[in-house]
Amino acid sequence: MKKLLPLVLLGTLSYGQIGINTSSPHATLDITAKNTNGSTPEGVIAPRLTGNALFAAIALNTYGIAQQGAIVYVTEAATLANRIGQTVEVDSVGYYYFDSDQNQWHKFGGGNNFYNSDGTLSGPRQVTMDGNNLGFTGGRIGMGTNSPDPSAILDLTSTTLGFSPPRMTRVQMDAISGPSNGLVIFCTDCFGVNKGCLMINDSVDPTIPNWGSLCSTNIPTGIIDNIQCVNASTTGALHAGILASGVTTTVPYTGGHSGTYFSSSFNSTGVTGLVAHLRDGSIVDGNGTLVFEITGTPSAAGTASFNITVGGQSCTFTVDVDAFTASVVSIDCGTAVFSPAAIIQGQPYTGTLTIPYTGGNGDPYPLQQFTQNGLTFTLPAGTLATGNGNFVYTVTGTATNVTTMSILISFGSVSCNVSKAVTAGGGGSIVTMCMGSGATKNWLAHNLGANTSLDPNTLVKDIHGNYYQWGRADVVANADTPVGVITGWNTTSASNGSWNSGTEDTPVKTAIDPCPSGFRVPTRQEWVSIFNNTNKSTIGTFVNDPTNFGSGIQFTCPGNGNRLTLPAAGARNSVAGALVERGSWGYYWSSTERGSAQAWVTYFSSGSSSPTYYTGRTEGYPVRCISE
């Protein structure tokens, strides 16, 4: 009977469920904690084996298909030599289950990981390397892309973020042990305080690094052993209250080690108001010199001191500032004379500017020099006349903009302004026109392509100029082009933004704007301002005739009497470029588009005019330019 009872129970259990500490099991085996207050040990203890014991089972074929899902607790990882076959992953203490399909033991919780499945981080993660290395082999890494370029081992992809290499000081860079050939860092102070650069080690010998700059030249930063301010020498003279000009100080050094240095500026102490500028340059091996340009206006007579730091060394040089005793009573800028008289934008100019003065005291004065609009004005050192005399400046350079220059002439406490117009290439001129609310704007006095040596207010053939299609820089016709159709006439409209990449209120000139430097095609609103703030009158007889070059419209600024005159040049039609309406109508482009195939223009005839007319972009009209 004792032997039969277990068999009866076993038969009963084989068709039911087992519950431990529960009378209502909900699974084949349902184990409920005896106590939940922590007073007794609870849980299930799986067979406890070492990793090496599981490895030994491989040779005995202990685990196979029948053991699929078997669970053990590994108390000690398999040794490195035994991490093969079924135990290749048994590398730490923990629960493992047997996967007969892969014939391997897998650790619980280790099935999905960074290396064998995709996923999304739920928050920030941090890995502490603790002195260990992490290496990736046999593939490519992409950040910002899941398809790194086949040619790149590391592909960083972004249109809003950059790559920031390790940042360190020069001392820290030099302390890197055995830097590899091609190692890259960002040095924060290699070229001075807060003047960093990307640096690369181009030495193949890690014991002798050679750091080079990638900022502009691949050469190391220059070093100086001894900078000798005590032996500095100065050319030119400084005078209290007078703008420094042509003054330089040369500082020698010894023990130079070749390399570059950034430009630097050093303010004066003692006598203030001066700055010593050192341009970008290179330090040579051995002995050399550094040249500082002194600028500014010294605050008083005395000694100006400059504490400089270059190539890792510092010193202080001094420059004497003399009292300025030369004086005049007045300077007559109104009778100033340029010789030659014409200054043309974009053309080299060499000449003089002569300005009378009165009441000179006969004292000497230093060289004075300044630059304006691409021109350099130099008053050589000299001695004032006792009484009346002339300042004669040499003027050299190339004027960069078409404008009316206001040139400040200052001598001691006396100053005035010389007004001088710079004309457009070809000798054209500008006219300042009223634009409303006290504002003015400079306009070219001639149409583009006109003979700018002629009076812009006298209407003749040669001031009609060129014709342009909207949004294009090419000349499509001029006053001499035959009146018939033009072979190859372009009937495709230029795209929006062709003549203005900004806005109506803040226009920005484009590369295909036909106007010269400093000028652009006016906006519709600028034409409206001309119409609303000037007096308009017609000139000549408005008759549609290809030979009628004498009619037009004239805008007169009531504030200054300046005139802007537009010839009634007609148009080249949009179909094939034939001439129409010369002498009876005038049309002038604005840079403002309307829709995708039209643009706004200014038009006028003998009886009507408007700055808000629109037409197709393939018409050919003249262009009158306004200053940027």
Residue-by-residue DSSP string for 527-591: HHHHHHSSEEEEES-----TT----EEEEE-TTT--EEEEE--BEE-TTT--EE-TTT-EEEEEE
- Flag whether pLDDT at 62 surpasses 50: yes
Express as a percent the part of the chain with pLDDT over 70. 93
Structure tokens, 620: 């050919």
Q: Which are the contacts of 447, defined by CB distance < 8 A and separation ≥ 6?
A: 463, 464, 465, 466, 566, 567, 569, 622, 623, 624
- Owner of token pair 């080299």: 348
> 188: how many CB neighbours lie within 10 A of its CB?
17
- Cross-strand bridge partners of residue 397: 349, 375
CA–CA separation, 581 and 589 (whole Å): 16
With beta carbons less than 8 A apart as the criterion, state whether 319 and 356 touch: no
Is the domain 330-421 a CATH 3.40.50 member?
Answer: no
Q: Where in the chain is the domain with CATH 2.60.40?
A: 223-322, 330-421
pLDDT digits 0-9 by tens, 455-469: 899 999 999 999 999
Structure tokens, 280: 């970008």
CA–CA separation, 273 and 296 (whole Å): 6
Is the domain 223-322 a CATH 3.30.70 member?
Answer: no
Question: Hey, what amino acid is at 40?
Answer: T
Q: What is the DSSP string of 205-225?
A: -TTS--EEE-SSSSSPBPEEE
Mean per-residue pLDDT for 210-239?
Answer: 83
CA–CA separation, 324 and 240 (whole Å): 6
Q: Which are the contacts of 208, defined by CB distance < 8 A and separation ≥ 6?
A: none
What does the angle CA 604 – CA 607 – CA 609 come to, to the nearest 5 degrees? 30
Q: What is the CA radius of gyration of the chain?
A: 43
Residue-level pLDDT at 425: 55
Mean pLDDT of the chain: 89
Q: Which are the contacts of 130, defined by CB distance < 8 A and separation ≥ 6?
A: none
Mean per-residue pLDDT for 95-112?
Answer: 85
Q: Is it true that the peptide bond before 298 is cis, omega within 30 degrees of 0? A: no
Terminal CA-CA length for the chain: 116
Residue-level pLDDT at 421: 78
Q: Which range (12-26, 84-98, 510-524) has the least confidence?
A: 12-26
Question: Hey, what amino acid is at 279?
Answer: R
Of 359, 373, 360, 351, nearest in space to 419 by CA = 373
Residue-level pLDDT at 11: 37
With beta carbons less than 8 A apart as the criterion, state whether 527 and 590 touch: yes
pLDDT band at 218 (very low <50, low <70, confident <90, very high): very low
Mean per-residue pLDDT for 485-504?
Answer: 94
Q: Is it true that the peptide bond before 567 is cis, omega within 30 degrees of 0? A: no
- Flag whether pLDDT at 401 surpasses 80: no
Mean per-residue pLDDT for 621-627?
Answer: 96
pLDDT band at 426 (very low <50, low <70, confident <90, very high): very low
Of 124, 262, 250, 245, nearest in space to 193 by CA = 262
pLDDT band at 2 (very low <50, low <70, confident <90, very high): very low
Model-wide pTM > 0.85: no
Residue-level pLDDT at 19: 84
User: Cα–Cα distances in Å, from 228 out to 200, 303, 308?
Assistant: 31, 18, 11
Residue-level pLDDT at 424: 62
Of 258, 192, 252, nearest in space to 220 by CA = 258
127, exposed or middle or buried, with CB in 10 Å at 0-12, 13-18, 19+?
exposed
